Amino acid sequence: MEAARDQTTPSVSDREDRESRKLLSRLRDTLATPAKGQERLDRITHLIADSMGTEVCSIYLFRDPTTLELCATEGLKPEAVHQTRMKLGEGLVGRVAKTSTPVNTGDAPSEKGFRYMPETGEEIFSSFLGVPIQRLGEKLGVLVVQSKAKRQFSDDEVYALEVVAMVLAEMTELGAFVGDDEAMAALHKHPVLFRGLMGQEGACEGRVWLHEPRVVVANPVGDDPETEKARLNAAVEDLRGSVDAMLAGGEIADKAQQEILEAYRMFANSRGWLKRMEEDIDRGLSAEAAVEKEQSATRARMEQVPDPYLRERMQDLDDLSNRLLRILTGQGNDTGAEMPENPVLVARNIGPGDLLEYGRKLKGVVLEEGSVGSHAAVVARALVIPLVIQASRITTEALNGDPILVDGDQGVVHLRPEDSVAAAFRDKIAMAAAAQTRYASLRELPAVATCGTRVGLHMNAGLMADLPSLKGSGAEGVGLFRTELQFLIRNRVPQRGELAQLYARVLQAADGKRVVFRTLDIGSDKVLPYMKPQDEPNPAMGWRAIRVGLDKPGVMRMQLQALLRAAAGRPLTVMFPFIAQASEFFEARQALLDEVERERKIGHALPFKLEIGAMLETPSLAFAPKSFFETADFISIGGNDLKQFFFAADRENERVRRRYDTLDVSFLSFLGQIVERCHEAHTPLSFCGEDAGRPVEALCFAAMGLRTLSMRPASIGPVKHLIRKVSLRDLRAVIDEAMASGVQSVRPAVMEWLARQPV
């Protein structure tokens, strides 16, 4: 799209501009005249064909995300309307939609990918020009003109059709083609079901709160280009002023933020950007529509750019366009809308810092993008709010205040649900709440099985805000405190003093209960905003966690000092993540002991007890020399990583992450071997992956000999309830028998046995 534009600049003649404006105002008139959606579409194809001097004009709109349908035509056979369909990528029309780029050819039938559709009678038309109808990167359809004469359309004609397509996109958004008044009213009113992916378990009911409210452009067509240009220029001035003020204000503490603002300033001052928008206005668009047209082009390009740096800069430009739109429409982030009660945040994506700022106010989060391991997911997990990711198109559908149900367990979202769906959902939430109340009565009781075996249940945490759960859940301590979040939410490395303060507050809040601090597990996919991204083919197995800590020890040592200072006079427990061989643990441990020595020398108070442990997250460590098991004060199995490496199944890849059962015989026997090695060395062993919070899995781990489990706080009740009802000795016999019988997974045998227990 850009290429075509660049070649034409700046010679769009006044006459063409006038023609274009005339067409756009006629389009606007069709919008203003009451009519059924189909009538409008028919009128529009007629108008465009007439104005462009082509025999054919057709509008194809998406029926579903992968199917386009011919919705109106001037010049093709009328019987084909609503009959002719094609898949994304199929034929020339499908190609335009898929690539979001125009196709312009004088000889369509010999063009690669041409699909002959006899029902349309289009074989007699040689030349073809198709442009995408899209709004802010959202594909809505394709606008096509065709003619018999064998000729390529000029760049000016391509540009003119793009401007028309932009107006059609806005009209689609305004509901102009769904029908008359009652259909207009129906837009954004129907129940819609979104199937995304599970980001964090749990269910909630609430009302939509859009992180970035949609800007509605009520009028895509400008009456007078000079007025529109003046409005645009004033808005750009305003924007420049606010960026300059932010830069000059001195409140930008860190370099990364500064760089973003510099990039904003560069774009805001870019002549090319402004000039393109002015040309769009000359063609008849309103100032808002011109900004949106540029923004749509940026988003379409963003999809094609693999380079993360360039994508980030385009993201900056996208943000800037948003700001400009808000200035023009007066629809700020503070649109005056009040955050509803029980807000469910809906966003394309969100940074960890922004999400934390909303904090526990939120009942749930739904994102269009995101991955299981994204920073936002890490924060949502820490906040223990249901999260659904990859709910595509939800920001387009949802309006502030819409009722919404989020089912994090299934990765499903119901927007504006039917009453019956809402009622069933409420039952589910009520049952979960009733169960939590039941579990609350167990809070002060130990997790002792009927055979007398006691299992320590601890909780996972990552924020100061998690600590109240220590009391509420009945956890015996924090079995895993993930320290990444404090690094992820800032745009700079946190300072030692800040960290020491935070860790001290955590220990204070734990009130003598044990807290296991895991040193920074970062790198590769969990890239810190201020860390140079490493281009690694396989990040999960790349330069991460302890590998970064040992190769570039500065940050790790600073963190260790912060921990030592926080724990002065109190016990301190530190664990190193992702240890793959004994020597890594020995080296990390020595680094900590060196820091202890340093602290002693400078006269700082030391922790009165120090435990140093390792996370067993790679199968190799299970086969480490005995000296490792003897040296470690404790070992914690990071089951999420261990399982992914044991089965070679990426924990973030939806296609394989659930493929292998945790209760698979080979995995359970492997756990049994680790238990055995720790037992020989008298080294305490715990399990802190997500599986520890799944009651049946937790029960089996305990039966295999694990005596400490660490899980999210909400799981402690259900796990404790189950443990207290059964004999782990009996369960072990069931597992052993199943294993001996040659099954793949012990799950069926365990479930059958459980069904016979008084639970």
> Which residues of this protein are in contact with ligand PEP, per CB under 6 A?
480, 482, 521, 617, 638-641, 688-689
CA Rg, the chain, in Å? 31
Which span (79-87, 125-133, 324-332, 630-638) binds Mg ion, by CB under 5 A?
630-638
Which partner in Mg ion, ligand PEP, none is near 316 (CB below 5 to 8 A by kind)? none
Which partner in ligand PEP, Mg ion, none is near 205 (CB below 5 to 8 A by kind)? none
Least Å distance, CB 660 to ligand PEP, is 15
Which partner in Mg ion, ligand PEP, none is near 555 (CB below 5 to 8 A by kind)? none
CB nearer to ligand PEP: give 280 or 484.
Answer: 484
* Rounded Cα gap, residues 618 and 580, in angstroms: 6
Least Å distance, CB 373 to ligand PEP, is 8
Assess 664 for contact with Mg ion (CB under 5 A).
no
b/e map 33-61, b = 16+ CB within 10 Å: eebebebbbbbbbbbbbebbebbbbbbbb
Which partner in Mg ion, ligand PEP, none is near 140 (CB below 5 to 8 A by kind)? none
* Rounded Cα gap, residues 332 and 366, in angstroms: 22
CB nearer to ligand PEP: give 114 or 645.
Answer: 645
Least Å distance, CB 597 to ligand PEP, is 29
DSSP-based three-state secondary structure for 62: strand
Least Å distance, CB 492 to ligand PEP, is 22
CB nearer to Mg ion: give 358 or 646.
Answer: 646
* Upper half-sphere CA count for residue 593 (Cβ side, 13 Å): 9
Least Å distance, CB 578 to Mg ion, is 6
CB nearer to ligand PEP: give 58 or 686.
Answer: 686
Structure tokens at 115: 């699909």
Burial (0-12, 13-18, 19+ Cβ within 10 Å), 514: middle
Assess 202 for contact with Mg ion (CB under 5 A).
no
Structure tokens at 563: 């921990």
Assess 718 for contact with Mg ion (CB under 5 A).
no
Residues 580 to 619: which contact Mg ion by CB under 5 A?
617
Assess 717 for contact with Mg ion (CB under 5 A).
no
- The DSSP annotation for 660-694 comes to S-TTBHHHHHHHHHHHHHHHHTT--EEE-SGGGGS
Least Å distance, CB 577 to ligand PEP, is 7
CB nearer to ligand PEP: give 17 or 617.
Answer: 617
CB nearer to ligand PEP: give 167 or 528.
Answer: 528
CB nearer to Mg ion: give 62 or 578.
Answer: 578
* Rounded Cα gap, residues 259 and 432, in angstroms: 46
CB nearer to ligand PEP: give 57 or 197.
Answer: 197
CB nearer to ligand PEP: give 481 or 503.
Answer: 481
Least Å distance, CB 215 to ligand PEP, is 38
CB nearer to Mg ion: give 296 or 460.
Answer: 460
- Selection from 338, 388, 341 nearest residue 364 by Cα: 388
- In the sheet where 138-147 sits, what is the strand order? 85-87, 67-74, 56-64, 138-147, 127-135, 103-105
Least Å distance, CB 638 to ligand PEP, is 3
Element (H, E) at 471: helix 468-473
Which partner in ligand PEP, Mg ion, none is near 639 (CB below 5 to 8 A by kind)? ligand PEP
CB nearer to ligand PEP: give 402 or 641.
Answer: 641
x/- mask, Mg ion, residues 631-660, rule CB under 5 A, reads -------x--x-------------------
* Rounded Cα gap, residues 88 and 91, in angstroms: 9
- Selection from 63, 33, 24, 311 nearest residue 165 by Cα: 24
Which partner in Mg ion, ligand PEP, none is near 20 (CB below 5 to 8 A by kind)? none
Residue 374 contacts residue 390 (beta carbons within 8 Å): no
* Neighbouring-strand partners of residue 193: 414
Least Å distance, CB 615 to ligand PEP, is 7
Which partner in Mg ion, ligand PEP, none is near 688 (CB below 5 to 8 A by kind)? ligand PEP
Number of other residues whose CB lies within 10 A of the CB of residue 395: 22
Least Å distance, CB 671 to Mg ion, is 16
* Rounded Cα gap, residues 92 and 126, in angstroms: 13
Which partner in Mg ion, ligand PEP, none is near 139 (CB below 5 to 8 A by kind)? none
CA distances from 221 to 57, 169, 175, 597, 609 (A): 20, 12, 16, 72, 72
Structure tokens at 76: 């093709």
Structure tokens at 520: 């920074």
* Rounded Cα gap, residues 103 and 656, in angstroms: 38
Least Å distance, CB 145 to ligand PEP, is 54
Total residue length of the chain:
759
Contact residues for Mg ion (CB under 5 A)? 617, 638, 641
